[in-house]
Every structure is written in structure tokens, then in C-alpha cells.
Amino acid sequence: MPEQTKITLEDDIEPVADAFEDASVIGLSDDSISTIVDALHEEGNDDHLDLINDLSVPDTADLIHKINEEDRQSLLIDRKVKLDPQVYPYLDPDVGKSALSSMSASRVAAIISELDSDDALELIENLDEDFQQEIIHKLSAKMRVAMEEGLTFPEDSAGRLMQREYVAIPQYWTVGKTIDYMRVAANDLPADFSDIIIIDPLYHVVGEVPLNRILRSKRTEKLEDLTYDSLHTIPADMDQEEVTYIFRREGLSSAPVIDNDNRLIGIITVDDILDVIDEEANEDILKLAGLGRGDLYRAILSTTGTRFRWLFVNLMTAILASFVISMFDATIEQIVALAVLMPIVASMGGNAGTQALTVAVRALATKELSSTNTFRVIWKETIVGTLNGIGFALIMGVIATVWFQSVTLGLVIGAAMVLNLIVAGLSGAGIPILLNKMGSDPALSSTVLLTTITDIVGFFAFLGLASIFLL
């Protein structure tokens, strides 16, 4: 390692060497990234090649993410650094698309040929359709069929998620024959697998057998006698969220994927499910703020356009709330204290509603909500909103009374606070559930609707009560 770093950091070899040594454990350090970038900027200096080769796959992906677009272009295109193909599935979809789109179709085909079919499909599906076809034509016949078939399945479906590398054994085979087969065909088997799929002559799935049962059984035992007690087959067109729910509920490590004729076409493993869980969780969090996946790496104009549309919707709802305020402009002119206090009522309603909304969206995502407990959840959040409303009404009522020397004003803001937090609890839990029933994504639409309702109710309740009791 000293030989690789002394050119770029002659006076600080040991700390940098230690940073690279620890990278696989704690992640790639800023010093390590700076070392590679410095080497990259020096003409005729290829030290960065040796440094990158010492990194693990996740750390290499981390490096690609953190360097700027120009350095990324220099590294992958100008200097044609050949990364381990396993790095590319770790990249953010926008970063991966940008990197692969700058390469030749032959080079991309060579990269994805080294990957499992599910990872290869994940990379190629993000590329432009014409480029996809150009790449597919340069693949082997087996991989070409896998990619063409995979692209026919709906986006975010089990067919896109599955891998086509699996071990399928006839149901009449014994443990001994299976072990002998796996030893002879070792080079044709997947690199990692924990379950063997048992099939009948028509390739219908009969069961699954975990490897540990095979290893602990006599050679004469039939595989069909060792299968799991229950079989969980996944239709190829099933949404990946549904697949994730089945894996979580049943505690699966893998599951066979079947086509419309119930024939085995692939397998989904738990590592794929972990990726989906992470993807769906991040997507829901971003949707609540009106953001798209990959905004961190997306081009400025694309990011601006996505956020502009969402902000425009928020502008329209804000204008609607302002219209409600304008209805009471005469009241506000006479009592200036109202202008000071009314944002408090609206913001408390919005915050309380967001808490209820977050609980409801998560419960929908994890399928903890059904027709049997929906009303109970909405009722609970409404009661919670009521109790919090009473508590904060007392606090804010005392503050307003002391601040503006008006008991009536304190009572008015207290009453408005109670009303708005009741509505916040009801709306926060009810809106996502209603949108889900209507077939809309609750994570995408709930926030703006909730904010609109709590703002309008808060302003209308506070200013309306003030115009009745203070004038």
C-alpha cells in the first residue's frame, strides 16, 4: 500500500493506508476519496487504478457516488477503468444510467454478462429503449432471452425482481442423486443458494427443500418427502410490495416465481427483498415531501421540474388558505393580535396531522390496516388529536391571555386549537386510508391535502370565533 500512496501523499502515507485498510469495515473515508481524486487529476499517474482495486464492491460504489460528474466521466470513460461488474448494481439508478449511457453497447453488454440475471435486468431497464436493444443484441443467447423476457413484465413486479439462476430437481430424485448432480454440475449452479426447488415433469413447482435438510438426510430419502410444510409460489406479475409482504409475514428466505401456466420461471431471494424494502421506504419518505427517487444525483433541470410541479400545487393550496384569511380582513384590522396568533393554530394542526398521517401511511405500507381495524385506527388518532388539542388549548390560552391581556382571546385561540387538532387527527389518519381505497398512492397525495385542510380549518375556526366573540 505505501508504494501506491507515496506519489500523491508523500508526507502522510500511513494515515491514508490505514484509511484504505479500514474502508471495508467503516466505509470509504474522505481522505481515501481525496487520494484517488488527486491521482486521477495527475497526468500519466495511474495510482488510482491500484487504489480502486483495493476497495470492496460497496466502497467502490460509494466512491463513484461521491466524486463529481467530471471525475466520474474521467474515471470510467476517459481512462476506461474497468470496475468489478458487481459494483454497478450498487449504484443509484440515475448514477448507473449516466455511467452506462456513456459507454459503448459492447462494453455494457460485457458488464451485465457477468451479473446475475436480476441485477442485469435492473441495470438495463433504466436505459433508453434503443440503447437497450443494441446491448441485448450483443449478449449471449441465454442472457438475451432472459433480458427480453424480463422487460415484458410490469415495472416493479416479481418478474422484474426474480433471478433465473436456480436449482430445480425432479420430485422423484433422492438426496444422494441430488448431491451427486450438484457436485458434477457445480459450474452451472448459482453462486449462492439456500433452497432447492422441487418440480414435476411439467415444471410445476411441487415444493422447496432447504439445503440443511438435504445435508442431514440419508441418501435414499426422496426430496418430495423433505419439502417445507407450506409452499409459497409468487406469480410473475405480482407487485413487489406484495412480494415483500409475503416474505415478511412468512419469514421466507426464497420463493419460486411462476408464469400464467404455473410453471417455474425464476426465484426471488431475501437479498432482493431487502433491496425492495429499502427502495419502497425511501420512496415513501421522498413522496411525502413531493420529491423523486434519486434527486441527490439527478440533473439540476430535471430536479427543478419535479419539485416545481409539487410546489405549484402547494402554492394553489396556500392561495386557498389565504382566501379564507381575506374573508376576515376587517376582523384582523381591528384586532392585530389575531395576525400574530393565527399561524400558531395552523402550524399546530399541520404538525399533529402529519404525526397521524405518518402512522397511517406506514400501516398501509406494511398491511397492518384492514377493514376490521380501519375505523379503530381513525378513531384513536381523532381521540389523540382531541386530548392534545385540549392540552395545548390550555397552554396557549394562558399565554394569549397574559400576552394580550384578554381572557376572551385566550378562550378563542384555545377553542380553535381544539377544533383544529381534532380535524388534524381525523384527516391525518383518514386521508391516506381514503386515497388508498380510491387506488391512489397515499404517500404522494396525503401531505398536500392534509396541509390544506388543517390550514383552512385552523384559520376559519380562529378568525370565525374571533369575529363572533371579540367584535
pLDDT, tens only, 117-133: 889 998 999 899 999 99
* Alpha-helical segments (H) within 327-336: 329-334
Give, for 72, the enclosing helix (H) or strand (E).
helix 69-73
Statement to judge: residues 54 and 145 lie in one domain: yes
- CA neighbor of 288 nearest in space, from 437, 451, 92, 458: 451
Residue 339 placed within a domain: yes
Contact in structure between 428 and 353 (CB atoms under 8 Å):
yes
- In terms of residue numbers, what domain contains 417? 300-469
* pLDDT reported for residue 102: 86
Q: Residue 28: exposed, middle, or buried by beta-carbon count in 10 A (0-12, 13-18, 19+)?
A: buried
Mean pLDDT of the chain: 84
pLDDT, tens only, 160-209: 999 998 999 999 999 999 999 999 988 888 888 889 999 999 999 999 99
Reported confidence tier of residue 111, pLDDT bands at 50, 70, 90: very high
Statement to judge: residues 65 and 107 lie in one domain: yes
Residue 114 placed within a domain: yes
Statement to judge: residues 337 and 356 lie in one domain: yes
CATH number at residue 432: 1.10.357.20
Statement to judge: residues 353 and 449 lie in one domain: yes
Statement to judge: residues 202 and 80 lie in one domain: no
Residues with Cβ within 8 Å of 229's Cβ and at least 6 positions away in sequence, in order, are none
Geometric angle at alpha carbon 91, from 86 and 94, rounded to 5°: 140
What is the average per-residue pLDDT within 288-305? 66
Most confident by average pLDDT, 127-136, 273-282, 295-304: 127-136
What is the average per-residue pLDDT within 310-316? 79
* pLDDT reported for residue 289: 63
Statement to judge: residues 172 and 157 lie in one domain: no
Residue 294 placed within a domain: no
Choose the final residue of a domain: 112, 135, 161: 161
* pLDDT reported for residue 80: 66
Statement to judge: residues 232 and 313 lie in one domain: no
Statement to judge: residues 188 and 234 lie in one domain: yes
pLDDT at residue 388 is higher than 70: yes
Determine the Cα–Cα distance for residues 69 and 92; give it in Å rounded to an integer. 14
pLDDT at residue 3 is higher than 70: no
